[in-house]
Structure 1
Amino acid sequence: MDIGLLSLLLVVVLFGLLLAGVWVGFALMAVGLVAMEIATSAPVSSVFARRVWGAMNSWDLTALPMFIWMGELLFRSRLSSDMFEGLAPFTRRLPGRLLHVNVFGCALFACVSGSSAATTATVGRMSLPELRKRGYAENMALGTLAGSGTFGFLIPPSIIMIVYGAATEQSIARLFLAGVGPGILLAFLFSAYIVVWALMNKDKMPPLEPLAGAKEKLRALGLLLPTLLLIIGVIGSIYAGLASPTEAAVIGVVGAMVISGFSGGLNWDGFVASLRGAAITSCMITFILAGASFLTVAMGFTGIPRILASWISDQGFSQYALIAVLLVFFIVMGCFLDGISIVVLTTSVILPMVLVAGIDPIWFGIFLVMVVEMSQITPPVGFNLFVIQSITGKNIFEIAYYALPFFLLLVLATAILTVFPEIALWLPSTMMSN
């Protein structure tokens, strides 16, 4: 069959299955089966069994359920309320004041979560009522939360980085290190926007609160201490070379249990619910990875990735032109698919083109994560929008409108990262070479 017709057929089959409500993992497997039946005489069942087993029998993936469980445990603890009370005294005199708590709180929780939805839900369920009670503008309260909640994917430990690393056989530790610089950049851009907005809209800001004294700030630091210790235990152990990402995930689970136990926010029912939630999410991601792994092999048999990579090479596209095209492509994909599905659906086809263009696969992983962050706040399938809707009852399109400035800041950050790739690559190249 002509390669163009085959590509069109596979796309139709994939989106047909997705629109019919078939789970993403099984839809990917079905497309792989169709591709292999058409393009090769190889024993499909044998290839399928080997690839699916190989995709799930990966030591790197052991970290995935552990980090997910850690986030589930912390979600059910008092960590969010402690973070709000701990951060509030230090933001009262900044232009924008407590709006910065959404940014800093999401950044801190992202360091111990790895999930965008968990970060948004955990911080939002505490910050939104407090901001509303103090009279902060609703559009900024919701917008800052929706945008900052995306830190859960970028700031390590990141579930989606583990997925990308497993799918592309890249170092998860290097990806974690590469996410630090862009995470700081995004937090700076979001806080800078809050400052500018607050200075231009002084009439929409609530009255000033009393300055925090030394005693109150000391108490606030005490409330932040468990989070900081957990960050040091999880991320610090990886960066210091004392633990692999999988071992650090175990440290994180133990630390989360200790924090949840001492805070009194986790009972037996919550513990069982955290296990159930982690198991469901882990199984979903594993099925998607298994389907993507088989589809990758099937695409190799069809020759589509090789032909596309050769076509890109023949066109002589510059790296900037290719990145611009991929940015638009991923933004459109993000309107209809969740982030993990985007990663596993596209890497088998896109990565060969990226490598031909001379783009570093670690940098591309961070670029892809940042674009996936945009998908979290773009309707109609923006997970952060659904999370905030569940908290507030607002229409997701209204929330998306409030999040639009932060979507544009994500695009700006991606452009900055493209022009200055060292923002992502400097730390892994420095620390991993020592």
Structure 2
Amino acid sequence: MTLRNLLVLAIALTAFTGCKRDTPPSKPANAGYSVQTWVLPAEAGSMAPDLQTASGGRVLLSWINRTQGRRNALQFASYTEATGWQSQPRTVAVGNALLANAGDTPHLLATPDGALWMQWLQTQPDSPSGYDTVLARSKDGGMNWDQITRVNSDGKPAEHGFAALWPNGSNSAGIAWLDGRDQAAMGAGTAAQHAMGAMQLRSNLFTLDLQRGTDAVVDARTCDCCQTAVAMTRKGPLLAWRDRSADEVRDIALARFENNAWTAPKPVHADGWKVESCPVAGPALAASGDSAVVLWYSEAGGTPHLQLARSHDAGDSFLAPVTVEAGAHVLGRSAVGIDARQVWVAWLHEDAHGQTLQLARYPRDLSKRLQTFAVAKLGARGMASGYPKLAVDAGGVWLAWTDVVDGVAHLKGARVAH
């Protein structure tokens, strides 16, 4: 499966709204949480959201605006509960080469020095199926963005995507991505020849001036088109992805970056899910200090299910997973977050009545489910809803997702708080 075979959404134009969400009345710390609508500033037709929290109580939202008859535009906006949306959406990049895809979305990162970083995909003009992972950064909060830099430097007509970003110190960034250069090295022969090359997981570090380090190969054989995820632990960045064995077992693997090198990949849990094609369902990952949680989809045993596992040692080991949901209605598109008291899990399921965005919270030891929410009923079906995104702060969680209204993609948002 290639990235271009994933569903790309069609859109139309709507007006920007800068509405400020009213602050809810305070409640006791042990009270239940409730879902509130969070109006997003993206125009109709927007898709592929990403969410990050940053200093000063800011929530950063990015998305791709894909309007028929116009060039694709990568945009972002900043929000605080005190002031609402702080400006009109700002455009990071625009052009027909900017690849809009429901499965492989751009990512936004704020580093401690105040810089913003953005990663997205650019098609290769001389290749019908090749594309590059590119990176840009802004030193002034997003007003200006420097010349983009290709993260992959091989120059091969291959797929390079499904990236994950993390802060490296106070003023630089790390990035990991799936890299198909070995597949391209097989040449333009038969599909069987192409399949002989393996998709790799690579990483690199970039300075504030976008100077690159030396590529590291984290895993020489991975699933071709599943998302990667990264989270910061006390011991360093923890990276998760879907591995691929020689006999097509595609379980979730992790490695941690410490002492300027990646630890050897190891499985989160031995599911033993053997599947011949890519499920386009990577893991979600969150961490706080030495605590880490990973959420993933599997069909091991013949039943679709979402599993959640925790680590108390920054990813050195994981306890037996907890099943979040199981059954034919479970979709492999989910997000996870962790705060000082609890773990948050968001996922999509689809039945005869349509799709629903679900949210649950657990104590940090995952011993029981504390609360479950049906956040939204979606008009979208299948891949049109993309992948929900979740960001955690001290008050609760922020959610963003893609829905379809009258055949047009729309970004929707929610705040879940006391």
Which bin holds the TM-score, normalised by the shorter protein? under 0.3
Question: Higher strand proportion, which one?
Answer: 2
- Which fold has the larger relative contact order, with Cα–Cα distance below 8 Å and residues 6 or more apart in sequence? 1
Larger Rg: 1
Give me the TM-score of the superposition, normalised by structure 2: 0.25
Give me the TM-score of the superposition, normalised by structure 1: 0.25
